[in-house]
A and B are shown apart, each in its own frame.
Chain A
Amino acid sequence: MFLSLEVSGLAILIAVILGIPFGVFLGLHRFPGRNLIVTLVNTGMGFPPVVVGLFVFLLLARSGPLGSFNLLYTPWAMIIAQIIIALPLVVGVTMAGIQSIEEKLKYQILALGASGFQYLLKLLKEGQLIILSALAAGFGSIISEVGAVMMVGGNIKGQTRVLTTAIVLETRQGEYSLAIALGLILLLIALLLNLLFTYLQQRRLS
């Protein structure tokens, strides 16, 4: 259970660190090729995780381009796969969040004397409701994901077995009660996290 949280937590953290600045950039600037990137991001948001798994598998497999790092069947492989799944979601929603801020509000922030950096911080703060929901959605999608982590992690006991892959295994072995218990834990985690995000969102609203 903790491995699930660690892997998905680290993956969402990295996805946020990479995705939010990129999303802000896409949300604010117009440049040639932007439409292509936005299309790719939007496609990525609906990408089947199992295909991402296959892609990461091929990349990390011993004969693959990154094979020499020996990352396949380690938690890192799962983290990489989850980052790739969550990243377009974080980028896309951040971009939408920034774009949804009224043009005049952007001018207003600058007209009160904000520096470039203070301006970006304020935009994130104003768009935070949408960005928080991006985080919730991103985290929810990767912690409950099974196909990709199974492929690249290998479901090795004590190393890469996470809640979802354990549920699959126990169900196949006929250990239904254990599978149900694990399923309940996963649900509980999802529920608690969503409660937290909802609390954060609503606190901002009131």
Chain B
Amino acid sequence: MNPLMQLKNIEVVLEKRKILEIETLDINCGEILTILGPTGSGKSTILKLLAFLIKPQQGEIFWQGQQVHFPAPLSVRRLISMTFQEPLPFQGTVFENVAYGLRIRGVKGKELKRKVEEALELLGIEHLKNHSARRISGGEAQRMALARALVFHPLLLLLDEPLASLDPLTKDKLKPELYRILKQIGMTCVYVTHDQEEAYFFSDRIAVLDQGKILQVGNKERVFFKPSNAKVAKFVGTENLIPAVVCSQENNLVSLKAGDKTLEAIAPFPPGKKVIACIRPEEITLKKDGVALERVSARNQLPGTITSLDSFGPVTKATLDCGFTLKVLITRRSVFDLNLKPGDFVVATFKATAVHVFSEDEGGANDQL
């Protein structure tokens, strides 16, 4: 089956600066594809491109297998809908805002009323329909913007950081609800965010974008736990990137020399290969030295000194000096139970499978998995 939409060899240049350079990007029917990247990486530009709001200087855009030329026909544009980070209410009531997409499509009377009410109900804001759209709270306004974008049943929904401007409580409430709605109606969706947690939560697939280029695109598990290079690893929260050299290989089990320490990992690299070992901070557990180590399945046990403990409420980030810096995420409970303090001598343990290894010279590989 053809992807719903395809970008090929796209280049967007703004004021002589290359904003976007994409070889290929597919959007498959029914999937939620997240575009994850830092501010200024060109995320919003991709969405505008997909909504046919801007024209690329080069490249081709395909909609259901057919190339679309600019200006894009209204019949295609009307199958796509988009919301922005801010709710951008129009003048008038919430009802009138949500009705706009239907009115311009010629829907009237009872049908209009029914569809608007359905959309308001879906987003849980039917009680606000007669309120002025500019006098409701941020969370409510974002729900209104989503209802306004969904009311005419688009085939593709583009969401530009829909939760970024909300306070944490409102965000936590809307986040699972939005996911449920998108999955319930089987919406094909491109979701732009700079937040890795949000990306993992919403996505089927993730595309990591940096400086206008896609560094990696693939299944979310793969992008998060098998990043293809150091930049991607950093974006998805793998804080431990340790340069190492393969010293021995047996089947797929390799020993890596990192400083004066040895790490064991699963990787297909031959001895002598320079690599980077990445370990997610939540994959590591700490044991206090002196406490008898049980026989653990974790093959890696690195002694080190705690240099700092930064508490983020429920979790604490410990920074260890093991000859190289190692960041470890531990629960508040463990900090108390182990009575951890900076300066303490501890042993960091993690499994060989928790270490993801890629070659040091790895470029931006695209695995369409």
Out of A104, A111, A125, A126, which one reaches B51, CB within 8 Å?
A111
Q: Does A39 contact B (CB under 8 A)?
A: no
- Chain A residues positioned under 8 Å from B104 (CB to CB): 112-115, 118
A111 and B74 within 8 A (CB): no
- Across the two chains, which residue of chain B brings its CB closest to A111? B82
A125 and B91 within 8 A (CB): yes
A107 and B81 within 8 A (CB): no
Q: Does B316 contact A (CB under 8 A)?
A: no
Instruction: Report 18 cross-chain contacts, Cβ distance below 8 Å, ordered by A residue.
Output: A104-B86, A104-B88, A105-B88, A108-B88, A110-B53, A111-B51, A111-B83, A112-B82, A112-B104, A112-B149, A112-B152, A113-B105, A114-B104, A122-B90, A126-B90, A126-B91, A128-B91, A206-B132
Interface of B is mostly: mixed
Q: Does B101 contact A (CB under 8 A)?
A: yes
Out of B48, B91, B101, B132, which one reaches A112, CB within 8 Å?
B101
- Chain B residues positioned under 8 Å from A206 (CB to CB): 132
- Chain B residues positioned under 8 Å from A204 (CB to CB): 91
A113 and B90 within 8 A (CB): no
Query: B96-122 CB contact bits vs A (8 Å, 1 = yes)?
Result: 000011001100000000000000000
B84 and A107 within 8 A (CB): yes
A113 and B88 within 8 A (CB): no
B48 and A113 within 8 A (CB): no
Query: A105-138 CB contact bits vs B (8 Å, 1 = yes)?
Result: 1011111111100100010011010000000000
CB contact under 8 A between A113 and B152, given known A104-B86, A206-B132: yes
8 A Cβ contacts from B6-65 to A: 48, 51, 53
User: A204 to B96, alpha carbons, bound, how many Å?
Assistant: 13
Sort A-B residue pairs by CB-CB distance and give the 3 closest, nearest first.
A111-B82, A113-B78, A112-B101
Q: Does B148 contact A (CB under 8 A)?
A: yes
User: A108 to B86, alpha carbons, bound, how many Å?
Assistant: 10
Which A residues lie at the B interface, using CB under 8 A? 102, 104-105, 107-115, 118, 122, 125-126, 128, 204, 206
Which B residues lie at the A interface, using CB under 8 A? 48, 51, 53, 74, 77-78, 80-84, 86, 88, 90-91, 100-101, 104-105, 132, 148-149, 152, 158
Beyond A109-B90, A110-B53, 5 extra complex contacts between A and B, CB < 8 Å: A107-B51, A112-B104, A113-B74, A122-B90, A126-B91
Central interface residue in A112, A204, A206, by most chain B CB within 10 Å = A112
User: A122 to B104, alpha carbons, bound, how many Å?
Assistant: 10
Out of B77, B83, B91, which one reaches A113, CB within 8 Å?
B77
- Chain B residues positioned under 8 Å from A107 (CB to CB): 48, 51, 53, 82, 84
- Across the two chains, which residue of chain A brings its CB closest to B74? A115
CB contact under 8 A between A112 and B84, given known A107-B48, A122-B90, A126-B91: no
CB contact under 8 A between A108 and B84, given known A126-B91, A204-B91: yes
- Chain B residues positioned under 8 Å from A110 (CB to CB): 51, 53, 77
With both chains docked as a complex, state the minimum distance between the C-beta of B102 and any C-beta of chain A, in angstroms.
Answer: 10
- Chain B residues positioned under 8 Å from A114 (CB to CB): 104
User: A118 to B101, alpha carbons, bound, how many Å?
Assistant: 11
- Chain A residues positioned under 8 Å from B82 (CB to CB): 107-108, 111-112
- Chain B residues positioned under 8 Å from A104 (CB to CB): 84, 86, 88
With both chains docked as a complex, state the minimum distance between the C-beta of B68 and any C-beta of chain A, in angstroms.
Answer: 15
- Chain B residues positioned under 8 Å from A118 (CB to CB): 104
User: A108 to B152, alpha carbons, bound, how many Å?
Assistant: 15
User: A188 to B74, alpha carbons, bound, how many Å?
Assistant: 50
User: A124 to B80, alpha carbons, bound, how many Å?
Assistant: 24
User: A113 to B52, alpha carbons, bound, how many Å?
Assistant: 10
A113 and B132 within 8 A (CB): no
With both chains docked as a complex, state the minimum distance between the C-beta of A41 and any C-beta of chain B, in angstroms.
Answer: 26
A113 and B86 within 8 A (CB): no
User: A206 to B92, alpha carbons, bound, how many Å?
Assistant: 8
With both chains docked as a complex, state the minimum distance between the C-beta of A203 and any C-beta of chain B, in angstroms.
Answer: 11
User: A206 to B132, alpha carbons, bound, how many Å?
Assistant: 7
- Across the two chains, which residue of chain B brings its CB closest to A115? B74
A112 and B148 within 8 A (CB): yes
Central interface residue in B48, B83, B84, by most chain A CB within 10 Å = B84
